[in-house]
Amino acid sequence: MAAESAAFTPLTLPVLPLDDEVVLPGMVVPLDLSDSEVRAAVEAAQAAARSEPGKPRVLLVPRIDGTYAKTGVL
């Protein structure tokens, strides 16, 4: 048990709310970089990947009635 808890490292990720799209785990989706909200999330992910080597990641969450859902997809 102790080894499992020591291996857990929380992530800090940029969040991109989606209004109309449905994204499931494992899906690859295009993002419209002309949208300022999308561009900001992608740029934040790229900056984070430069400081901590790895793939840039963005957390995609549904936006329902103007609020973020409790679950999302990396």
SS (H, E, C) the chain: CHHHHHHCCCCCCCEEEECCCCCCCCCCCCCCCCCHHHHHHHHHHHHHHHHCCCCCCCEEEEEECCEECCCCEC
Strands across the sheet containing 15-18: 15-18, 59-64, 67-68
Comparing 13 with 73, the larger pLDDT belongs to 13
pLDDT tens column, 6-54: 677 777 889 898 888 888 888 988 989 999 999 999 999 999 888 877 7
pLDDT at 37: 92
What are the boundaries of each domain within the chain?
13-68
pLDDT at 3: 56
